A and B are shown apart, each in its own frame.
Chain A
């Protein structure tokens, strides 16, 4: 049985296809070459005039694990159903959660209804990995995966402090990937979450964690090298020190050099691009950051755009969230130290366009999008839910693609913030091809999903079909069709079939001898046994609904 998608205009940057009209053939969940025997084509969709892209991939979205469930539990007021007008209205079914903390079912539905077919949890705490996978298992429609958090765990910091060789570090990192069923490694406020437990309230890139006498730079150097030498496709995912602090752009600039030229991904970089100029001692450093990004080809970044309205910030960065707690709106926050592994801070936040800082944050994000030249190295995120719920992506895409729409929005901002931003002098408008890079081809390449994010023969048939509309927000909010692994799952923006997606992982080889010392460590210091820390395959795939894909690593380089 072969399905044919006929006459669509393909935006497929992985194959340099920029709006070319071509037919796509699908069999057994994959894109195949044009069949010799056309009689086997049993279903044809006429997509004349329609825009066809691979399913979108959100490379950074907090969709599973403790933090988000804490946010849900703390904020029952978020769950109330509301009536929305178009273009959100169709995204919001009467019982939906078009808000910052959707339940797992709504998360999957809202994503697929926008043409997203995969999302990656970027802060999967190893000790909390089981919960993250349980939640992701209950998230229908999309593929998922996680980046395991390291760099604040006492085991790793002890290794570094005792000058363990790089091979031992690499073995531990690989063991964590296996044990947590993850596809990448993340570090949040390197060393800072740990330092906060010793009552340190701030940690700069070259400042030592008081107990271990190790700096964030040491941690970044070690982890980026481990990721590189293990051949993991996804570069080390870095949430820099000093998130949200005025003047933090210097930390961000310096962080770019911490890996000695090895690949690193700086996440939600908008929150790390702040200067101290002006009367309010808070200014945009987007120009300096984007210039550095343009120059440093080993660095990629996602933006973490903020959009106005109510949301909740959920971060592993307990050190900085403790400082931010006074800005919580409504005024409440959950802060946790967790298992000598990491921590978390969850606090609701309302971004207001008449607030100077919030308005400038909005402008800084867009300045970054428009000033970073290479769309293969910058990614479209709101750091869901920290900058805004992921359901606001269509609005964000319109801001990037439509200069007059953007300038109208800018003109409504707090006037002092307008005076401190050069946004309306940036004339760039993203093309459909650029959007397809940022949200498909680039994201797949970054994470190492070779058979996703493109429409070439052999790709998994995750495909989104849109009607070309001048209003890009309306267009991206409501695809005509979404195919997941070749099955039609969304029609006219509504789910027509429920599927469950897969879990993407990577499992580089390592010396199992690493478990000897870990076992001793667990027995002495932990409150669970080593064997229970590990998530076995059966836990994810045993119910017959979930499944695991292990991605090949790049050639290991040591």
Chain B
């Protein structure tokens, strides 16, 4: 469905925009995954031409430049910004416990979301929190020892990837951090070990682990859901426990001993995992088991972890929520206080209980989950609804339509996002501030 905005609306929205139109080519930072590569060069649009792009970023920018829904919708019908902002405020005013979910946004958007959550007693949860929470729970229970991308690029001599091929979620990982020709300490290219990558991993993806000189990665095949047994066995071996079986979950003990030996003799081993692939009950215990192994190895050598993220601003949203309220998401704001519950405040639980849903997805056109309560959607102008929400407000994409700040997967680096084009869409934070103002 394509709608056209009335001239009045365009004029009104122009007032909120700065007049600087960037000239191409422009070097910029890509928010399509947690690596936040900042060496992309946009040289032309329609057709799109981007230097240093990966498949994920190409898809991201193509979606951004596709014909889209540029006007707000009220009950599925074209409306204008002021009317839909008013309607969103009305829904939230009538709500006692709204759920703010999705939360695909950058620092500035999340700041605004927290402000609105305080005003409306909302519960906050990110669309990719199933994976994030597994990491957070492990970290909150016993901590962890981790590293960041530049350290990996310059120090890693072994990379053990657990339950992930890495490139599905972070396409340029090997290109940028592993097969780099030069490093600060003239280290050899790292040895790659895949352990229990998901069954559906495309074979080509594992080829990313072949070194430029043709050295093959070690691929240890096992069912990802058997990782609890495998990692526990690694820990047992690490702690000198006697194992009486020959194999665990189809993996030979001798193979695990070899892995352990490599980790022990490495100068700087990196163990990475993707918690979102650990799709079984209490998978946080697998994360914790990995972090225990890392801690034990560090008693005598240097080994560091790297939890992979899922994107859509997940690291950003958790960081901003934490400094503004003291808690990461899966939190609830109520009468000036904030509560945190990694189970109860999940979208899955709260979709059954909330009396309004505000779904936010600005980077990608992710659709909201089904909800019986009145639903407001604010996000990517490319959303194609089967069932239109009560209110839809299209907003700009951070790093495309407006500037912003975003956290990388390793949380240590925040990057500036640039505005790449001029259009009429407001930013999420502008819309949220206006809704909040109506609730005062």
Contact = CB atoms under 8 A, between A and B. Distances in A.
Nearest to B416: A532
B294 to A, nearest CB: 10
B261 interface: no
B206 interface: no
A105 interface: yes
Contacts of B144: 334-335
A72 B322 contact: yes
Interface in B271-307: 298, 301-302, 304
A556 interface: no
B415 interface: yes
Contacts of A532: 29, 38, 415-416
B322 A69 contact: yes
Contacts of B327: 72, 76, 79
A529 B39 contact: yes
A20 B302 CA distance: 60
Contact of B412 (A81, A97, A338): A338
B105 interface: no
A339 B149 contact: yes
Interface string B142-171: 111111111101110000000000000000
A336 interface: yes
Nearest to B415: A532
Given A81-B337, A128-B413, A532-B416, A338 B184 contact: no
Interface in A388-422: none
Nearest to A346: B143
B15 to A, nearest CB: 16
Contact of B298 (A74, A322, A340, A526): A322
B271 to A, nearest CB: 13
Given A79-B340, A334-B144, A529 B27 contact: yes
Nearest to A125: B412
B143 A332 contact: yes
Of the candidates A102, A125, A346, A524, the one having the most CB atoms from chain B within 10 angstroms of its own CB is A524
A525 B153 contact: yes
B325 to A, nearest CB: 6
A337 B182 CA distance: 20
Contacts of B142: 331-332
Interface stretch (A24-32, A129-137, A458-466): A129-137
Nearest to B407: A131
B268 interface: yes
Contacts of A526: 150, 153
A70 B146 CA distance: 12
Contacts of B323: 68-69, 72, 103-104, 134-135, 138
A539 interface: yes
A154 interface: yes
A102 B182 contact: no
A332 B405 contact: no
A252 to B, nearest CB: 27
Contacts of A68: 323
B326 A97 contact: yes
Contacts of B411: 66, 70
Contacts of A81: 337
Contacts of A337: 146-148, 151, 155, 304
A336 B107 contact: no
Nearest to A93: B336
A334 B143 contact: yes
Contact of A105 (B324, B328, B413): B324
A528 B111 contact: no
Interface string A516-558: 0000000011111101100000010000000000000000000
Contacts of B29: 532
B146 A336 contact: yes
B326 A347 contact: no
A129 to B, nearest CB: 9
B365 interface: no
A527 B177 contact: yes
Given A526-B150, A528-B415, A211 B185 contact: yes
Contacts of A125: 412
B436 to A, nearest CB: 16
B324 A340 contact: no
Interface residues of B, number: 59
A333 interface: yes
Contacts of B27: 529, 531
Contacts of A73: 136, 139-140, 318, 322, 328
Given A105-B324, A529-B38, A539-B405, A336 B148 contact: yes
A70 B140 CA distance: 10
Contacts of A104: 323-324
B338 interface: yes
A74 B416 CA distance: 26
A528 B416 CA distance: 11
B412 A525 contact: no
Nearest to B176: A527
Given A334-B139, A336-B146, A532-B416, A130 B322 contact: no
Contacts of B148: 336-339
Contact of B150 (A199, A211, A339, A346): A339
Given A95-B336, A130-B405, A333 B149 contact: no
A101 interface: yes
B78 interface: no
A552 B267 CA distance: 46
B141 interface: yes
Contacts of B111: 138
Given A334-B144, A532-B38, A197 B268 contact: yes
B95 interface: no
Nearest to B152: A527
A336 B184 contact: no
Given A72-B322, A73-B140, A333-B143, A340 B337 contact: no
B324 A127 contact: no
Nearest to B325: A103
Contact of B151 (A66, A97, A338, A529): A338
B225 interface: no
Contacts of A525: 150, 153-154, 182-184
A76 B414 CA distance: 23
Given A127-B413, A528-B415, A134 B405 contact: yes
B319 interface: yes
A211 B183 CA distance: 14
B143 A347 contact: yes
B26 to A, nearest CB: 12
Interface in A72-101: 72-76, 78-79, 81, 94-95, 97, 101
Interface string A108-136: 00000000000000000101101100110
B296 to A, nearest CB: 12
Contacts of A333: 143
A211 to B, nearest CB: 7
Given A79-B327, A95-B336, A101-B326, A199 B182 contact: no
A103 B149 CA distance: 27
Contacts of A341: 150
Contacts of A528: 36, 38, 150, 413, 415
Given A338-B147, A525-B182, 7 more contacts: A73-B328, A74-B139, A74-B140, A198-B267, A337-B304, A527-B35, A529-B38
28 contacts: A68-B323, A73-B136, A97-B326, A103-B322, A103-B325, A103-B326, A127-B150, A127-B412, A127-B413, A128-B414, A131-B407, A131-B414, A134-B107, A154-B154, A158-B184, A197-B302, A211-B185, A325-B143, A337-B146, A337-B147, A337-B304, A338-B148, A339-B150, A339-B151, A340-B184, A527-B35, A528-B150, A531-B27
The 7 residue pairs across chains A and B that have the minimum distance between CB atoms: A332-B143, A79-B326, A130-B414, A339-B150, A333-B143, A527-B149, A103-B326
Interface of A: 66, 68-70, 72-76, 78-79, 81, 94-95, 97, 101-106, 125, 127-128, 130-131, 134-135, 138, 154, 158, 196-199, 211, 322, 325, 328, 331-341, 346-347, 524-529, 531-532, 539
